[in-house]
Amino acid sequence: MQIARSGCLAIPQFQWYNLVLQPRGICIEATNTAKFGSGASRSWLEETALEQQFQELKTRLAEIDDLQAANALLTWDQATYMPAGGAAARSRQLSTIARLAHEKATAPALGRLLETLRPYEESLDYDTDEAGLVRVARRTFERLVNVPSDFVARLNGHAAQSYEAWTRARPANDFAAVQPMLETTLELSRQLADFFPGYDHIADPLIAFADYGMQARTVQALFADLREQLVPIAQEIFARPTADASCLQQAFPIDRQQAFGEHVIKQLGYDFSRGRQDTTHHPFMIKFSLGDVRITTRFNEHDLGDGLFSTIHESGHAMYEQGVSSALEATPLADGTSSGVHESQSRLWENIVGRSRDFWEAFYPQLQATFLDQLGNVTLDTFYRAINRVAPSLIRVDADEVTYNLHVMMRFDFELDLLEGRLTVRDLPEAWRERCKADLGIAPADDRDGVLQDVHWFAGSIGGAFQGYAIGNILSAQFFAAATQERPDILADVRRGDFGVLRDWLTRNIYRHGSKFTAAEITERATGRPLSIEPYIAYLRAKYGELYAL
Ligand code: ZN
């Protein structure tokens, strides 16, 4: 998960805050005034006026960004160190700051300024940071201005309370305790969508917050294609003997798990001088500035994979944010561009790199040395098969690469059903069990491992919260295929524990651009084609074909 914007996209937990208050900060880089004159025969006075207006835009966006960063810090604190007694006041504080930020983000003067700067934007090359800033700031303004500030405050306050209730309800397996709150969340989600009249599907405005350019029907078509390819692969694997993962289920002291995880992500490129890691209920990444991009994780003493792959996952989100060009600092461009692209970065590092044989050729001897008693007699091959074991499972975040997307599709369908009124919140736990049974052949014994397992709906919206995870899986393979096609030496590097060339490719093609380009633009520019499931299916067929002799 991510929090900075869309989620893990980042972050379901702070979705209202993230999605509704998207604009961030100010560009502190001195403007290249020479660019103001390009393409137009404006007088010196006109150019000076435009320059002043552009500076005013950056100043206004910076103030919004500061409020948003303050809200993010309160959110991070709530999810890590805040005592339970702070919950009520924290809900109010988040609500107040969200309202203030929203008022600034929708101020009529900001709208007028963006209109005044339209000729300036049109005189610039589309790819420049300045044109991108005006373009993205206008798109955000036009979206946010539809939503009243009071509603934003209510939404953020409700999300904070609901999150707090969920942290108690899940361990207690008490869906009834959060059901009324979830009903309110559904109602607020519908109201939010209705601020954007003219949609084809009620989920469309909510999906657009996280994955701009996608709609319910495009996601449904994509998922239908994916399901058609994925289910036969899963069934072929299920027909084979299940891999033995018992080597991962021993007692692994948590302090050593944490130290090893931090060692790994340092090698991958997560910069601890511009970040830190803490523990929480539901791992996430959150950014306060390009110089402070934090991650959280959780550890299970009896499951080595849980903490390790969560840590790598969140570091993938964080490296994306840490890799944004410093020229974009504190502007609305200084975030990952969409939930799907963000998730592609976490999944690329977690799965395509972090669960590859090449990667563990470099790191397994170090892992064995760290856990000599537990893994000293476990071969690399046994370990590799264990971390890539494919089997029906109940928990999305623990699911293998092959079945993971089925968990996402189920949640996406539930969101549409709830928003459309075909399913009630009351009936959701039972619907969850039935769908698990139908898709995976197993059903959770309780709600803790069923409908209560994900934080998203209990701390954000219903609608748009999950599709990014599957889009991210698809894109992770598409990006990695493009990177290795251009630089085939990446694979040999990974085998040596060297990730510089891969990170440079990702920085050049994805990270540094932040939100300047849309997900569709980034995909086309980086890979030469639109979003496609082919590289992902080819990746799964090659990897699991070898592992399971398909
Ligand atoms: Zn994530």
Residue 287 backbone dihedrals phi, psi, to 5 degrees: -120, 135
Q: What is the mean pLDDT of the chain?
A: 91
pLDDT computed for residue 156 by the predictor: 87
Residue 12 CA to ligand 1 center (angstroms) comes to 9
Over 90: is that where the pLDDT of 400 sits?
Answer: yes
Mean pLDDT check: name the lowest of 37-41, 201-205, 400-404, 406-410: 37-41
Over 90: is that where the pLDDT of 445 sits?
Answer: yes
pLDDT computed for residue 205 by the predictor: 96
pLDDT computed for residue 398 by the predictor: 86
- pLDDT tens per residue across span 328-369: 998 999 999 999 999 999 999 999 999 999 999 999 999 999
User: Cα angle vertex 436, ends 431, 437, to 5°?
Assistant: 100
Mean pLDDT over residues 44-63, rounded?
91
Residue 428 CA to ligand 1 center (angstroms) comes to 24
Mean pLDDT over residues 207-222, rounded?
97
What CA–CA distance (Å, rounded) separates 264 from 363? 8
- pLDDT tens per residue across span 114-164: 999 999 999 999 999 999 999 999 999 999 999 999 999 899 889 989 998
Mean pLDDT over residues 193-208, rounded?
96
Show Cβ contacts of residue 534 under 8 Å, excluding neighbours closer than 6 positions: none
pLDDT computed for residue 40 by the predictor: 52
Over 80: is that where the pLDDT of 16 sits?
Answer: no
User: What are the domain boundaries of the chain?
Assistant: 16-202
- Are 327 and 455 spatial neighbours (Cβ–Cβ below 8 Å)? no
With cut-offs at 50, 70 and 90, classify the pLDDT of residue 281. Answer: confident
What CA–CA distance (Å, rounded) separates 414 from 75? 27
With cut-offs at 50, 70 and 90, classify the pLDDT of residue 41. Answer: low
Mean pLDDT over residues 167-186, rounded?
97
pLDDT computed for residue 46 by the predictor: 82
pTM for this entry: 0.91
What CA–CA distance (Å, rounded) separates 7 from 56? 30
The CATH code of the domain at 16-202 is 1.10.1370.30
Report residue 284 as tokens.
């996430």
Taking each helix axis as running N to C, give the angle between helix 519-527 and helix 339-347, from 0 to 180 degrees, rounded to the nearest 10.
50
Mean pLDDT over residues 193-206, rounded?
96
- pLDDT tens per residue across span 67-93: 999 999 999 999 999 998 998 899 899
pLDDT computed for residue 1 by the predictor: 46
Task: Report the helix count and the strand count for the chain, using DSSP H and E.
Answer: 24, 3
- Are 284 and 296 spatial neighbours (Cβ–Cβ below 8 Å)? yes
Residue 473 CA to ligand 1 center (angstroms) comes to 10
Residue 263 CA to ligand 1 center (angstroms) comes to 20
Residue 116 CA to ligand 1 center (angstroms) comes to 38
What CA–CA distance (Å, rounded) separates 439 from 451? 15
Report residue 537 as tokens.
């299916």
Over 50: is that where the pLDDT of 23 sits?
Answer: no
What CA–CA distance (Å, rounded) separates 286 from 10? 7
Burial class (CB in 10 A: 0-12, 13-18, 19+), 235: exposed
Alpha helices in 117-215 (DSSP H): 118-123, 129-144, 149-169, 175-194, 204-210
Residue 333 CA to ligand 1 center (angstroms) comes to 20
Residue 313 CA to ligand 1 center (angstroms) comes to 6
- List residues with catalytic annotation: 314
Collapsing DSSP to helix, strand or coil, 325 comes out as coil
Q: Look at strands 285-289 and 277-279 and give their pairing.
A: unpaired
Residue 297 CA to ligand 1 center (angstroms) comes to 11
Residue 309 CA to ligand 1 center (angstroms) comes to 11
